[in-house]
Amino acid sequence: MDEPSSDEVTLGRKVGILGGTFDPPHVGHLVTAMTVLETLDLDEVVLMVAGDPWQKRDSVVASAQDRFDMVDAAVAHSKGLSASRFEVDRPGPTYSVDTLEALAVVEPEARLHLVLGEDAAAGITSWHRWEEVVELATIVVVARPGVNATCPVDCVRVEVPQIDVSSTFLRSRAGNGKSIRFYVPDAVVALIGQRGIYGETR
């Protein structure tokens, strides 16, 4: 293997962070992650599983461990995609700035890219310590079905296929004993069924 150039050593890897509850992870998440990975020529996109999603506490069904295991199964054979339990293992609610700061300590030369849907990006200036968020990472905005919002900070826009499927829809199908195959990877379908995460499923 050729020795990396001095520029490569200085700049480090390009790493995308796609956070979410992933309850469950589905094809929309995976297509988004892979599209961002390839469009921006990143070295890796990390699917960051929220441990204590304080904004969605009333709607999250699966445990943090189950959600991490589903994401881990979903990306197990996808080069360039990985699952992280970083926020799962941290106590209490976590904010993006805390995660980015901690990742910068672990891999200080990495160039971080925070991947957000249009709706989330539009409200970024209301986030906790948002100014530090945009200093720590490049903001990557991906289009979402039915959303037409403007990012108020400097950002990179990536067009992704519009797959209008939601985790809420999938939980409902699974709970009613309907198939969720093709919406989520087979490994995730199997895990949901084995653990009965959303009740009956097939």
CA distance 21 to 59: 10
pLDDT of the residue at 145: 67
Secondary structure class of 17 (helix, strand, coil): strand
In a domain, 199, yes or no: no
pLDDT of the residue at 202: 54
pTM of the model: 0.89
Per-residue burial over 98-133, b if 16 or more Cβ lie within 10 Å, else e, is bbbeebeeeeeebebbbbbbbebbbebeeeeebebb
Range(s) of the domain holding residue 40: 10-162
Cα-Cα-Cα-Cα torsion 151, 154, 156, 160, nearest 10 degrees, comes to 0
pLDDT of the residue at 148: 76
Three-state helix/strand/coil letters over 31-48:
HHHHHHHHHCCCCEEEEE
In a domain, 174, yes or no: no
Tally of structural domains, the chain: 1
In a domain, 68, yes or no: yes
Secondary structure class of 142 (helix, strand, coil): strand
pLDDT of the residue at 2: 42
CA distance 29 to 46: 11
> Looking at residue 114, what DSSP letter applies?
E
The sign one gets for the Cα dihedral 197, 74, 164, 22 is: positive
In a domain, 186, yes or no: no
Low-confidence ranges of the chain (pLDDT < 70): 1-11, 53-59, 145, 200-202
In a domain, 193, yes or no: no
Q: For 25-36, write each residue's pLDDT tens digit.
A: 999 999 999 999
